[in-house]
Structures are given as structure tokens and as C-alpha cells.
Structure 1
Amino acid sequence: MEVIGRRARDRVRSLCAPFGAAAVLAAAVTCLAVVDPHEPGHYPACPLYYLTGLYCPGCGALRAVHDLAHADLAGAARMNLLFVFCVPVVITLWTRWALRSWQGRPTRPDIARPAYLWGLLAVAAVFGVVRNTPFGQFLAP
């Protein structure tokens, strides 16, 4: 009887990290859903944009989160298309993390492989450059 109780406690304990991360993310999304980043002065400006007038790959992400929280997919895509494409990837990775934790299997850091990180950095860099060119203006927030 004690073995079953210990197993159940271990499973619940293993879910603390993924669900803790989800709770923090849910709190941030709730804050962004309530306090509109489209209104000037609610959040600080992007330092790169403030200093240079150039959009970084993350510019518009807060507004995209706000739009997604209000079920406005088109508005979110207009703010930061790269971010919108990354949301399903992050949800998939989180689901995999939670499922593997529940099953008691080790969570392998597949996302931290150097090839994936360099690829992500390259995509973000290209996105950041293209959105600041005349032919990439449709990517600017």
C-alpha cells in the first residue's frame, strides 16, 4: 500500500516543474491580456528600437500575446509572425515535457542541441534583418 502512495506522490512531484512553468506563463499572459501593450506607456519600449529605430526579432511579441489572448490570430500575426509560428512549437515541447514527467521518464534536452540552437538563432537573425528591409515591411509590427 505504501508503494502505491509513494509512486503517486513521485508522479505528482515530477509534474511540479512543468505545471509551475505553465502557471508562470499563464500569469504573464493574463497580465498581457488585461493591460494592453498596444497602448503607449504601459510597457517599456524595445531597447534596440528605442536606440536605433530597428525592429528586433522579438518586437511586437507582447502585442502578439495580447492579440492571441483575445483570439485575434490575424492581429497577432501582423505584430510578430515568427512568434506566432513558435507558439505551437512551445506548446508541443511543454506537452512532451509534462507527459515524460508524468511517465517518470527522463526529459531529454533535445531542444538544447547545438544544431537546433544555431538554427533558431539563424532564423531569428534572418527574420530580424528581413523585417527591417523595404521588401519585408509586412513583417514589421
Structure 2
Amino acid sequence: MAAVLAPLGVALAAGAAVAFVGAVNPNEPGHYPACPFLLLTGLYCPGCGGLRTVYALVHGDPATALGLNPLVVLLIPALVLLWGRWTLRAWSGGGSTGEPGAAPAWRSVRPVYVWSALAVMIAFWIVRNLPFGEFLAP
């Protein structure tokens, strides 16, 4: 049962972060630091608009969230799914490294999915900074 404490702790930390972003409007200047990549280059990173996206989702505005950062909107369900798998594996004991033959929880995601997600993120990063990808900018 102690193995379940890690995913529960992550859920608690993520919930607290989402609650904070929902309570402290990122659209108001001075509450959050600016994106360092944007400040240094003038270009948007894959996460630019992410805080405002979470704020919009917390306040029930998915259309605005999609307009700010569609990658974050698509990433949230994937992260919830991965967290759910991690929690189930921890609950059932399948993610424990102490069991003979049991794969560690971090090995439950196939490398092809990780590399594909990285490729999508890099493509999004590039396209949102090109003139024809202007609609992806926050």
C-alpha cells in the first residue's frame, strides 16, 4: 500500500497547482514570471499560454483554452491516463521494483510513444512560430 503514496502525492501536488492557477489569474500582469524563452528570443515555446490554458479550463472555457495552447489541452487527458495507470499498478503491486520480474512503473510507457510525443511537441513549437501557424500562438 505504501507504493500508492507516490501517485497520490503527485495528484495532491498537481491539484494544488491547478487550484492556485485557477485562483490567481495569469492574465493579470505581475502574478507569474514571463516565459524565459519568449523573453530571450521573442518566440513562443511549446508551453507558452499553458497557465492561461489551465485557468480557462478551470473556469469552464475550453474554447479559449484551445485557442491559447491546444497542445496543453491534449496533453492533460494523456497525463491523467498515465497517472491512472501508475496508480493502478501501484495499487495492485505491479509497479513495485521489489517484486521479481515486475517492470518498474516508468518502463510501462513504450519508447515509441515518448519519441512520438517529443516529435509532436517539437513540430508544434516550430509551427506556432511560423507565419502560417500564427493561429497556434497564444
Range of TM-score over shorter length = 0.7 to 0.9
User: In structure 1, what is the equivalent of residue 119 of structure 2?
Assistant: 122
Within 5 A, what are the aligned runs for 1:1-141? 11=1, 13-106=2-95, 107-111=105-109, 113-141=110-138
Gap runs ≥5 in structure 1: 1-10
CA RMSD of aligned residues (A): 1.3
User: In structure 2, what is the equivalent of residue 6 of structure 1?
Assistant: none
Higher alpha-carbon deviation: 20-29 or 71-80:
71-80
The residue type paired with residue 26 of structure 2 is P
State how many pairs are aligned. 129
TM superposition shift of 1:108:
5.0
User: In structure 2, what is the equivalent of residue 4 of structure 1?
Assistant: none
TM (norm. structure 1) is 0.85
TM (norm. structure 2) is 0.87
Query: Is the helix fraction higher in 1 or 2?
Result: 1
The residue type paired with residue 4 of structure 2 is L
TM superposition shift of 1:82:
0.5
Q: Partners of 1:80 and 1:18 in 2: how far apart?
A: 26
TM superposition shift of 1:69:
1.1
TM superposition shift of 1:14:
2.0
Asked which structure has the greater CA Rg, the reply is 1
Identity %: 51
